[in-house]
Every structure is written in structure tokens, then in C-alpha cells.
Amino acid sequence: MRSLDEATIQSLRRDIALQISRLAERLGGTQMAVAKQLGLPQPTLSKITNGRVAEFSIEFLIRIAVRAGLPLTLQTGRVPEEAGAFISRPARESRASRSKLADKARESLIDSERRLTPTQRLEAFLEHNQLLGALYQAGRAAERTRMRTASRVA
């Protein structure tokens, strides 16, 4: 039996591969042409699109996603089924900003991203996802507290 962390990693690996596979479909053309666009050997792209990714590391798959410009968000959870890789909506497609501060922060982030090396981008991406996870957990904890308080009042 696999441990929970191994199962979570496998789930993330499959989801990242799925997002790369979906991108390959959107790009159209032959696997050879798409593989060339992504800087991969065609057999590697074939394995990814067919879900045979156990031999690939998450780092390798993230490198492909970064190279392809896929805005991914990784999420883990208490159980492996909660883990996943999701396409983030680019800032230009998002709803209107809610504040000037958010606009300024977004512009600063985009400007900083342009100055980073691919390795630095990957590290920043991973740190960003860790922070999103912490924010998600804090939100869940706040919601539990709110629910407890509401049930006491009722």
C-alpha cells in the first residue's frame, strides 16, 4: 500500500500531465510538431498524453508546463483525492480588479517575473503555491471558527 504522500504526488503528476496533454490538443498538429514546440522528444509527449507518467518527476513535468507557458496552480489536501493541478486564469482574463493595491501588486509581480531566470520562476511558483495552500488552510480554519461561533449563538 502506498503512503498518502506518494499517492498525493502521483495524483499531482497525473494532473500536471493531463494539463500538458490538454495543451497539446489545443496546439493541434502532429505529436511530433507539438513535441518540437515544447522542446520534448515525441515519445516523451506520447507517454504524457497517454498518462504513462510514473517515470517522470513532478519537477520535470512542471518544467514542461513552465516552458509551455501553462499557468498552473498545484493543490494538495488531507487525502490524495484532493490534490490536483489546475490552470490559473491569467491576470488579463480575470475579473476587474477590486483595488488599486491589487493592481499595483499584480503589476509588480508581472514585472518581477520578467526579470527571473526559469529556475527562479519555478522556485517562485512553488513558493506561491505553498502560500496559496497556507491561505486556503487559514480560510478553512476561519470558516470552522465562524461556524462554531454561529452554532453557539443559535
Choose one of 53, 87, 121: the last residue of a domain.
87
Domain that holds residue 13: 1-87
Chain center to CA of 87: 6
Nearest to 83 by CA among 142, 129, 144: 129
Predicted pLDDT of residue 125: 76
Chain center to CA of 109: 17
pTM > 0.75: no
Choose one of 87, 114, 136: the last residue of a domain.
87
Tally helices (H) and strands (E) across the chain. 6, 2
The number of residues making up the chain comes to 154
Which CATH number goes with the domain that contains 5? 1.10.260.40
Reduced to 3 states (helix: H, G, I; strand: E, B; else coil), residue 86 is strand
* Cell numbers standing for residue 19: 494539463
Tens of pLDDT, residue by residue over 25-80, are 998 889 999 999 999 999 999 999 999 999 999 999 999 999 998 888 888 888 88
- 98 and 54 in a single domain? The answer is no
